[in-house]
Structure 1
């Protein structure tokens, strides 16, 4: 990979956890009634066939990590836990009143914030409250994000007893200098301890999240982090690009200077070294930024063409309907998106009025649905085709012409009715998706909305 390619394609671009991306939602004309209609339609089409997914946002953290882009509330007061759990269960009840039949839950994911900020008692109350109004799919997957510094064995055992079998631990980097810069002091032995506990208890999939491009991070840090990671043998890994977007995150990313952050070819070199090391350690690339051992369900889903991507990221458990519970959560009925109130106070206020706390959304057009499938194919399978009539769209010839230059650069191969991303092109998959993003093509942003693609 040449420096010129990196400089050429390192532009702001979406990560495509949805299409259209949130800045391009058409909020005008969207209403809660429209959301309910598409939600019920999707439920009726998919509940018996595949079940539904739940994402539950637990926003509290005891301290601020400066690399984080999630919606969170920093507090050391744990008396906030119970009222929040009660609010989430009330929101769930409002959805349950809309279901024409009992929901079948295939997937639950607890994200944050810091889910392990909550006590085991409150987490038990939450999950039991959710499951009391639902059936559990035979092949379900329950997962949560655990902070190695505050995840206890009791957390792991309690959630395991509630049906959770997958846990993801945020690691980022083991360098003390890097950890100080991102305000995430987390010794290796803390990660080792929770990883061993999870394995002893019986978790079948343990994941570690690593980040490249962090402030002060060098090649030696990437090598050391991956060597330490391999010694713990997590089943899957996320190897994310650090999104340096201080214009969005404010003071949270002003704890270091811009020049302290690796850029362009320097940053891409960190990725290439890390990716090659992971391959030598037996990890296979599946989708953008994700790697898994062959024994993991994510690898199987990728090999069988069943990998899916939504607002939770990649998942091996595809469902047409995903309901987001909690402040700032985003729901997806396939036909429309809906986001909850971002502030906890506004979220509570809407629920007190017995209203679903949705404050904005987007109803997908027929064109959106076609483009969405192409982008999902590229993100999940590194290929897409249009031999089926329902995947052809009017601007496709123009998109193909735009992709010619990427083909000349060796990033993809264009066939009669398909494109295939090459090994060389995988780091640029966001750029390839951008060629299909008609909303982005028609209205380029006037200010920088997205992180850099490289």
Structure 2
């Protein structure tokens, strides 16, 4: 990759798990009643035909990983588990009451934090509590994030018995020096153990998360990590850039100095070498930062044009409505977004008052819905079109002018009614999406909000 392109396009930019992105939500036009109305509308349109998705945030971790940008609470106090599970189920019951009819759950994901911080019994109570008020879709996909250091065989077996068939493990990097810097000491043997156990039990998709751009990370570290990954052959991989945003995350990302991070061309070299090795080992790029073997459902969804992206990341199972449960979770009704309060005590208090614990959100305009479709297409298909009714928007000519420069740089191919992201353009897909981001164009951030795109 040309160094000049890295310099040109390595700018702060969103990761586009939503459009509009969270900093551009119009909170002044959002309120509780509008969120409930958007939920009911989406539920009525889609529950019977495709079901809904559930994301459940389990925020507790026993130690702080300094690379992490997720919302978490660090504690070794496991007595916090029981009241939290009860609160999440109370929130779910409130949603079920609002929706009226029994939800059909097509996708359920446990994220964190560390879901495997919780005991097997509490996780079982959580899942049974969810389905005591819902129907499981015949093609329901259930997944969870497991920490290799504390995911037990009992965790894996019980969750499998409850219907989970997919698990992802955070690897990050196998270098002891890097692991020490990010406070994530995790030997290869631990990852191998839980990967093999998951396969023995019957999980159909095991994923690993790998990060490039970590402090002290060198080319040999990435090569070693991917060689070790090859020996375990996970079905899918997230290979993504470390998002260094200490001005947002505070002391959680201050376990090392800025100068300890690989920069620009050095960082991009880590990506290029890693991507080449993944391709050599049979992994296919199916979306931004995501790779999968041909047998995995994520690859098949990409090939069939059914890949979807939301606040849970990439999914092979699209639903119009996604409900987020737990502290800091974000829900998506397609017509609106709502985020729960981030403070645990506030979360409990609102539920005691029988109120959904949302504190901010956004109701999408007609323009938002059009732009959202284009950005989703670029993220999931590496192409988008404005040929069909309802896909053209007034500022498209200006967008095409900006894309023309990217075409000169070999990042996109522009046709009469569509654009395609080239192979060279895939690492810059966030920049290409930014060309469509009308809210970002109309109002530049007043302060640094996003990590660098490269």
Q: Would you call these one fold, judging by a TM-score over 0.5?
A: yes
Give the structure 2 partner of residue 395 of structure 1: 395
Aligned counterparts of 1:325 and 1:243: Cα–Cα separation in 2: 25
Q: Distance in 2 between matches of 1:63 and 1:223?
A: 27
Tell me, yes or no, if structure 1 residue 363 matches structure 2 residue 377: no
Q: 2 CA distance for matches of 1:118 and 1:105?
A: 22
Question: Counterpart of 2:300 in 1: which secondary structure?
Answer: helix
Cα shift at 1:388: 0.6
Aligned partner of residue 249 in structure 1, secondary structure: helix
Q: Does 1:286 align with 2:274?
A: no
Preserved contact between residue 106 and residue 140 of structure 2 (Cα < 8 Å): yes
- How far apart in 2 are the matches of 1:29 and 1:139? 37
User: 1:239-278 maps to which residues of 2 (within 5 A)?
Assistant: 239-278=239-278
1:205 has 2:202 as partner: no
| Residue in structure 2 matched with residue 297 of structure 1 by the alignment | 297
2:24 aligns to what? 24
Report the CA distance between 1:177 and its aligned residue.
0.1
1:117 and 1:434 mapped to 2: Cα distance?
37
The equivalent of 1:153 in structure 2 is 153
Contact 2:39 2:99 in 1 (8 A): no
* Local SS of the residue matching 2:446: coil
Q: Paired residue for 1:164? A: 164
Alignment of 1:187-198 (within 5 A): 187-198=187-198
Task: Output one character per residue of 1:274-327: Cα deviation in whole Å (capped at 9) or x when no partner.
Answer: 000000000000000000000000000000000000001100011000000000
Corresponding position: 1:349 with 2:349: yes
Stretch of structure 1 that moved more, 107-116 or 246-255: 246-255
Correspondence for 1:108: 108
Shift of 1:249: 1.4
> For 1:377-434, what per-residue CA distance to the aligned partner results, in whole angstroms no more than 9, with x for missing partners?
0000000000012100000001000111100000000000000000000000000000
Q: TM-score, normalised by structure 1?
A: 1.00
Distance 1:97 1:252 in 2: 38
Give the 4+ runs in structure 1 shifted more than 6 A. Answer: none
| Pairing of 1:228-243 with structure 2 (within 5 A) | 228-243=228-243
For residue 323 of structure 2, give the secondary structure of its aligned residue in structure 1.
strand
Matches within 5 A, 1:298-313: 298-313=298-313
The match for 1:78 is 78
For the 8 Å contact 2:207–2:234, the answer to whether it is kept is: yes
Number of equivalent positions: 454
Measured in 1, the distance between the counterparts of 2:257 and 2:327 equals 31
Q: Distance in 1 between matches of 2:97 and 2:181?
A: 47
Query: How far is the alpha carbon of 1:238 from its aligned partner?
Result: 0.2
Q: By how many angstroms is 1:447 displaced?
A: 1.1
Separation in structure 2 between the aligned mates of residue 103 and residue 389 of structure 1, nearest angstrom: 31
1:441 matched residue in structure 2: 441
Distance in 2, matches of 1:30 and 1:92, equals 21
Which residue pairs with 2:427 in the alignment? 427
Distance 1:229 1:236 in 2: 11
Matches of 1:184 and 1:264 in 2, distance apart? 24
Quick one: distance in 2 between partners of 1:186 and 1:192? 11
TM-score between the two structures when normalised by the length of structure 2? 1.00
1:100 shift after superposition: 2.9
CA distance in 2, matches of 1:416, 1:391: 14
Residue by residue over 1:192-219, the C-alpha shift from the partner in whole angstroms, topping out at 9 and shown as x without a partner, is 0000000000000000000000000000
SS at match of 1:298: helix
Alpha-carbon distance in 1 for matches of 2:437, 2:167? 33
Residue number in structure 1 paired with 2:118:
118
Aligned to 1:332: 332
SS of residue in 1 equivalent to 2:99:
coil
Any stretches of 5+ residues in structure 2 without a counterpart?
A: none
Q: Distance in 1 between matches of 2:100 and 2:91?
A: 17
Q: Displacement, 1:254? A: 1.4
Maintained 8 Å contact 2:115/2:146:
yes
Which residue of structure 1 aligns with residue 316 of structure 2? 316
